Chains A and B, each alone.
Chain A
Amino acid sequence: MTSREQLLQEVRERLRQRVGGFFGNTRRDHGMACGICCGPTSDGICSVCRVARNEFGQLLADQTVILTYARGYAPFVHQSVHTVKGYKRNPPATKSVDDLKLMVLGATVLHGSCLAVTAGEPWGAITFVPSENFPEGTHPLAQLARAAVGANTPDNRLTLALGPGIGLGGRSVRADRFSVPPEYCDRVRGRHVLLVEDTWTTGSKAQSAAIALKAAGARYVTVLCLARWCRHDWSDHRALLDSCTDPYDAFACPVTGGACPPGCGPGTLGIL
């Protein structure tokens, strides 16, 4: 093995050891899980994602890459939930921060070619889904976004502004939750933008952010989300979670949910 291959294997093994005890890979196989959000559905696309698509169509994210599941509402707090919440607490759970950074790093370094090939080019700008709780770049999610490997340079980074609809409409996708500040429009226009999020419950935040990016001229939006939030106390959700028994494998393709696209995947450069 070359040293690069060894390094990739090392990332895989470290992740297996650090998060394999509580995280598995997501599914997006037809009949089991939603091809957009990886939540349970037998219809290919779940009802929530379908409603959003009917309303916003091409304005939504073109590609969603969701790495794992968080098991919410279990009788005891599950470590997966602790990890996706604890990383942004103050003071933070430091291992959770490092675990999630390594997940982002692993996904982008191992599957950068996979998420570039569908878009036709690698991502050229990066941002994250902001929230009301943290002003601008102080959001702990920014630390995770920093770990994405690719065109992650200061002049390719941007933050989204909160729009008038930020707190409205419960968990619906809205065009006015976020906006691209004028000074960052150049970084977005015509580009493939990587949009980093920590948890996907209904996708209303991430998809609303994707709409803001598209409205500002983004050519293609890839959502890279750490965890799909599922409910242990809902039988369909639990059945899906319980079907993912293997420890998290960073080599498994989070873009396709199956084999990596031809010529892409760990160790390949693809069109990078």
Chain B
Amino acid sequence: MGGERRNGDRNSLADAADDGMGALWGQGTPTVASVLTSSPEERAALVALLRARPGGATWPQMTAEVADSGSALEVWRRHSPLELFDAHSVGDVDTLADAMRDINAWDAADFTFLTFADASYPAQLRDVHQFPPVLFSRGELRQSDRAISIVGSRSASDRALNEARDIARMLVEQDVTILSGLARGIDTVAHLAALDAGGRTVAIIGSGITRYYPAENRELQDRIASDGLLLSQFWPDSSPTRHTFPMRNAVMSAYGCATIVVEASEASGSRIQARLAVEHGRPVILTEAVARGTHWGRALVGRPCVSVATTPADAVEAACAAIAVRDEFVDLLAIAVE
């Protein structure tokens, strides 16, 4: 030990053949554990905590506390110290039992209930601070889904709708999943183009998983649930509100490798998603109409990860580059240390 090796002997991250001390270093950390998954009590405690929000905690605060502790049950006990011998705690016990009963009902329904600690929870969502603690899904969950968000105005021009359609089709040819929010306009066109081209599409919605919004997209929503994937971060029966859509946009930014904004107004939800994506370190691709025609678009140009596409083909190229960059990241880490 303590040999003469100095700076000339650079290590490689890819070097798994370490011995002795090196073997202990950073090798014992689990990548995907399922501490909460394994036990129904953990899932129930998480649901109960999100409902009870002890101390008036927000969902993100509650979620961070559970994630830091590694056990929802432990957090639950921390906030209910009198559980065993205080008459007032009967309510708490009921909350846990209620949660358990609801989870059983969800498990029996035609959708899937997931917590952030589950192995089938889309791992990339955990990359962002708005990662939803619970998710409801219909359709096929995939780990490392190569997805690109296509978003834009609900009342887009025909030209923009055509662009969205072209972009979706070309991405499907590259075996890319089309991600959108099932709203009218650009979202609808992107989902439909993907399905019609035989591609995979994922919709992240601003309501509960049993609701249909907007009503005219009912058929499309069911089609996505059967051929692609439908995700909701809200309780199954909840209605959409003006707060749920931006929350949904944060999850869309997180789910995809990049966001393409096709056409959007000054006050568009796409603007929120573009800003969030930059904050998340996810590439944002703006069409020229957005980059030049909106204040927020002009302000985003020059920020890290933001690029401007002149044609649909440009947008597709930039999106594919974003996926490639993600895929080859580990290689870069390995090469750079040689």
A interface residues (Cβ-Cβ under 8 A, vs B): 7, 10-11, 14, 16-22, 76-79, 81-82, 85-86, 89-96, 98-99, 101-102, 105, 109, 112, 116, 122, 124, 136-140, 142-147, 149-159, 184, 186-187, 247, 272
Contact = CB atoms under 8 A, between A and B. Distances in A.
Nearest to A186: B2
B333 A272 contact: no
Contact of A153 (B5, B278, B332): B5
Contacts of B55: none
B125 to A, nearest CB: 9
A55 to B, nearest CB: 31
Provide the main secondary structure of the chain B interface.
Answer: loop
Interface stretch (B21-29, B150-158, B184-192): B21-29
Contact of B11 (A92, A99, A153, A272): A153
23 contacts: A21-B304, A22-B280, A78-B129, A79-B280, A82-B128, A82-B129, A86-B126, A86-B127, A91-B32, A91-B33, A94-B124, A94-B127, A99-B281, A105-B13, A136-B24, A137-B27, A142-B29, A143-B29, A146-B11, A146-B26, A154-B20, A155-B22, A272-B7
B60 A76 contact: yes
Nearest to B60: A77
A91 B7 contact: no
Chain A to chain B: the 7 pairs with minimum beta-carbon distance, closest first: A154-B22, A137-B24, A20-B304, A82-B129, A143-B26, A142-B26, A95-B127
Interface in B266-292: 278-281, 283
A198 B6 CA distance: 25
B279 A155 contact: no
Contacts of B30: 90-91
| Residue among B7, B28, B124 with most chain A CB within 10 A | B7
Contacts of B305: 17, 20-21
Contacts of A144: 26
Contacts of B329: 14, 98
B65 to A, nearest CB: 11
Interface of B: 1-3, 5-7, 9-11, 13, 18-35, 60-61, 64, 67-68, 70, 116-117, 123-124, 126-129, 131, 278-281, 283, 303-305, 325, 329-330, 332-333, 335-337
A163 B30 CA distance: 26
B1 A155 contact: yes
Contacts of A18: 281
A139 B60 CA distance: 25
B129 A101 contact: no
Contacts of A90: 30, 33, 35, 70
Contacts, number: 182
B261 to A, nearest CB: 16
A151 B279 contact: no
A22 B333 CA distance: 21
Contacts of B281: 17-22, 79, 95, 99
Among B22, B24, B26, B117, the most chain A Cβ lie within 10 Å of the Cβ of: B26
Most chain B CB atoms below 10 A, which of A22, A95, A96, A186:
A95
A94 B21 contact: no
Contacts of B23: 137, 154
Of the listed residues A16, A102, A136, A154, the one surrounded by the most CB atoms of chain B closer than 10 A to its CB is A154
A96 B127 contact: yes
Given A105-B336, A136-B24, A92 B60 contact: no
A19 B282 CA distance: 9
**Which of A14, A91, A96, A112 lies at the interface centre, i.e. has the most chain B CB atoms within 10 A of its CB?**
A91
